[in-house]
Amino acid sequence: MEKIIKVECPAKINLDLRVFPRDNSGFHPIKSIMQTISLFDYLTIKLSEGDEILLSGTSDEIPYNEKNLCYKAVKLFLENINKKFKVEIFIEKNIPVEAGLAGGSTDGAGVLFGLNNLLDNIIKKEDIQTMASKLGSDLNFCLLGGTKLCQGKGDDIKDMPFYDFKLSLVKPKNLKISTKDAYMAFDTLDRESNMRNDLEFALLDKYEELQFLNSMGMQMSGSGPTFFLRDKNIDFEIDENKYLVINNLNSVNHGVREV
C-alpha cells in the first residue's frame, strides 16, 4: 500500500491586524483580515505501511525533525485516527521563513489536508479545523484561504467578499522576527497604535529596514518583517543585496489544495 499526493500551500498576508491585550490564558486575541496570495510551498506526501515520519526538502533554514510543524501535524493526525503509517514529506520551500507570511502554518495545514485526502476524508472537515487550532493560530485560515475575517485565536473565521488584487513583497534578507518577539514588543508599548498593523507599529522604531519600507508606502504583514505593496510592482530604488523582492503576485481565492 502506497499513496502519494502533492499539495499546494499558499502564503498569507494580513490586510490589517488589530492586537488586543493578553487574555486570562496569556494569549493575545486578534482581529485581522487575512488573504492568501500566489506564493506557494509544495508538499509531496507519501503514505505507506510502517510507523515513521520522515521529512526532507529544499531549504536549509528549517528543521526536518519533530520541531517542524509538518511533523507535529502528522503526529497529531495519526493520534486522532489511532493508526500507524510511514509518512514521508518532501517540502519545496518558496515562502520565506520567519517572514510574517504563515509559511510554517500553511505547510502544517497542507499536511492535515493531504493526509485526510489520502485516507478518503477519514476525519470530518470541522474536526480537521479543531486539530488545526491546536497547532497554531494561522492554520485554520490556511486550510480555507481567500479573504477572511479572523478573530480571537485566529479560528473564529468569517467569509468576506474575495479581494482580487496584484501585489509585490519585500523582505529584508538578514532580518528575521519571531512571532514571540513581535508580541513582546507589542506588550511594551506605552501608546496606542495608529497603523493598520499593530505589530508593525510595535516594531517600527526597532529596525531601520522596517522604517525604510514603511517610508516607501508599504505595509507589514503579520509579525513581519515582510512588507507588501498593493496594485503595482516595486518601482523605487532598492538594494537587492539587502532586500528580497518578489513582484507579480496576486491574491488567490483558495487555501491549501491538491495539485
CATH number at residue 42: 3.30.230.10
pLDDT at 47 over 90: yes
Let me know if residue 255 belongs to a domain: no
Do 75 and 178 lie in one domain? The reply is no
pLDDT value for 96: 94
Do 182 and 118 lie in one domain? The reply is no
Let me know if residue 98 belongs to a domain: yes
Q: Which of 12, 72, 93, 171 is catalytic?
A: 12
pTM over the 0.75 mark = yes
pLDDT at 232 over 90: no
180 is catalytic: no
Among residues 133, 159, 185, the one where a domain terminates is 159
Let me know if residue 103 belongs to a domain: yes
Let me know if residue 256 belongs to a domain: no
Q: What is the mean pLDDT of residues 108-115?
A: 98
The pLDDT-based confidence of 26 (bands split at 50, 70, 90) is confident
Let me know if residue 258 belongs to a domain: no
State pLDDT tens for residues 192-222: 999 999 999 999 999 999 999 999 999 999 9
Considering the chain, what is the average pLDDT of its residues?
Answer: 96
Do 180 and 100 lie in one domain? The reply is no
Do 101 and 225 lie in one domain? The reply is no
pLDDT value for 20: 95
Do 132 and 180 lie in one domain? The reply is no
Which of 148 and 180 is assigned the larger pLDDT?
148
Rounded to the nearest 10 degrees, what angle do helices 125-135 and 103-118 cross at? 150
Question: 234: domain range?
Answer: 166-250
Residues counted in the chain = 259
State pLDDT tens for residues 63-110: 999 999 999 999 999 999 999 999 999 999 999 998 999 999 999 999
Do 123 and 189 lie in one domain? The reply is no
Do 115 and 237 lie in one domain? The reply is no
Report which of 48, 41, 50 is spatially closest to residue 68, judged by C-alpha positions. 41
Residue 254 has a CB neighbour count (10 Å cut-off) of 12
138 is catalytic: yes
Query: How many separate domains does the chain show?
Result: 2
Distance CA 99, CA 213 (A): 14
Do 152 and 170 lie in one domain? The reply is no
Let me know if residue 259 belongs to a domain: no
* Amino acid at site 121: N
Given a contact cutoff of 8 angstroms between Cβ atoms, the answer to whether 52 and 87 are in contact is yes
Q: Which of 41, 107, 138, 198 is catalytic?
A: 138
Distance CA 172, CA 210 (A): 8
Q: What is the DSSP letter of 56?
A: E
Let me know if residue 135 belongs to a domain: yes
